[in-house]
Structure 1
Amino acid sequence: MNKQFLSPVFAVVLAFGAGAPLANAATYSNGTATATFNVTLTLQANCTIAATPLNFGTSGVLTTALNQQTSVAVTCTNTTPYNVGLDAGTVAGSSIASRLMAGTATGNTGTTVGFQLYQDAGRATVWGNTQGTNTVAGTGTGSAQSITVYGQVPAQATPKPDTYQTTVTATVYF
């Protein structure tokens, strides 16, 4: 071999190391560094409400009271005080003291059946929509709380056959 040719090759081998292992980033470390960050969540007092229908079923003559019950579910943030109110319904002339369902058949919209909603199974306390007077109070737990609504169609003069209905709005105040 030519001596001039070996000198530059030899110089390269000496400069870079013959057979030296390549550097592995996973095995070489110059130290570590860390950083911290805050994780936050702000919860505000909040409530939701859901209601299930109240169905008095099918009846003939209204000579005795018809009693049924349903429920509203209130979900409020933990420790949040609330009140649940029920309005008079959507039938014209209906009030908290004298709730009405109206006939739904054509030509029968002025015919009504009286009913009432109560806070208790004995049906002694009418459930209304005035906070601190006739609403139901509670305190949120962070989970759904079921509240029973007791309904009654009292004995009354029976109007003509039809399906009678109204829409009552349940409101949670918090």
Structure 2
Amino acid sequence: MVRRFNIGSALLVAGSLFASVATPMAAMASTASSNLSVSASVSPSCTISTSALSFGSYDPVSANTSLALNGTGSVTTTCTNGASATIILDQGSNPSGGSSNAAPLRMMSNGSGNNLSYALYQDSARTTTWGNTAGTGLGVIGSGTSQTNTIYGSIAGGQNVPVGNYSDTVVATISF
């Protein structure tokens, strides 16, 4: 007896045969894996800039015979988030005799040998001198954004100085 197969039966038999061969091949595939370690180190970093402190007009004859002339400037820093830093202000270009980094005695000069004494402070009450050491500087903690701190200045009253323009240059430094 002769059996006849139609095309549909032939495809069904061929498909079944292929599926039975292909299934064990997928089961024989293997994988391996490994962990990739990823790391970075964030270093402390800071930038610093200042805005001028201008006292305006000092009048030793009437307004400032006994009263101080006060003014403010500022120092702006940007430090890495969490970085500890200290802002220090040096003694200036014309320090008075006896001046030290811890207790600066700053003076403005008119360029002709005449000086006008002044002081810089960390607080508005003008009681904490801003010095040039870690112990007399202003400590800050970075936030990753700019932080502005006021520099409070004062010229003591009663200084008998000649007419003229007086100036000084103070270097602001941030150590971190």
The residue type equivalent to 2:128 in the other structure is T
Equivalent positions of 1:13-28 (< 5 A) are none
| 1:50 equivalent in structure 2 | 49
RMSD: 2.0
Give the Cα separation in 2 of the matches to 1:111 and 1:80: 42
Alignment gaps of 5+ in structure 2:
1-36
Normalising by structure 1, we get a TM-score of 0.70
| Percent identity for Structure 1 against Structure 2 | 35
Kindly state the Cα deviation for residue 59 of structure 1 after the two structures are TM-superposed.
2.7
Would the alpha carbon gap of residues 92 and 82 (structure 1) be closer, same or farther in structure 2, given more than 3 Å must change? closer
Confirm whether residue 101 of structure 1 aligns to residue 103 of structure 2: no
> Once the two structures are superposed, what CA deviation does each residue of 1:115-161 show, in whole Å capped at 9, x if it has no partner?
00001100011000110x21110110001000111000011322111
Report SS of the residue matched to 1:50.
strand
| 1:125 equivalent in structure 2 | 128
The partner residue of 1:150 within 118, 136, 152 is 152
Kindly state the Cα deviation for residue 60 of structure 1 after the two structures are TM-superposed.
2.5
Larger mean CA deviation between 54-63 and 73-82 belongs to 54-63
Give the Cα separation in 1 of the matches to 2:51 and 2:83: 23
Kindly state the Cα deviation for residue 44 of structure 1 after the two structures are TM-superposed.
1.7
2:78 and 2:147 in contact (8 A); partners too: yes
Equivalent positions of 1:23-42 (< 5 A) are 42=41
Report SS of the residue matched to 1:164.
coil
Number of positions where the alignment pairs a residue of Structure 1 with one of Structure 2: 133
2:46 and 2:77 in contact (8 A); partners too: yes
Kindly state the Cα deviation for residue 167 of structure 1 after the two structures are TM-superposed.
0.2
Normalising by structure 2, we get a TM-score of 0.69
Give the Cα separation in 1 of the matches to 2:39 and 2:163: 60
The residue type equivalent to 1:54 in the other structure is L
2:88 and 2:173 in contact (8 A); partners too: yes
Tell me which stretches of 4 or more aligned residues in structure 1 moved more than 6 Å.
38-41
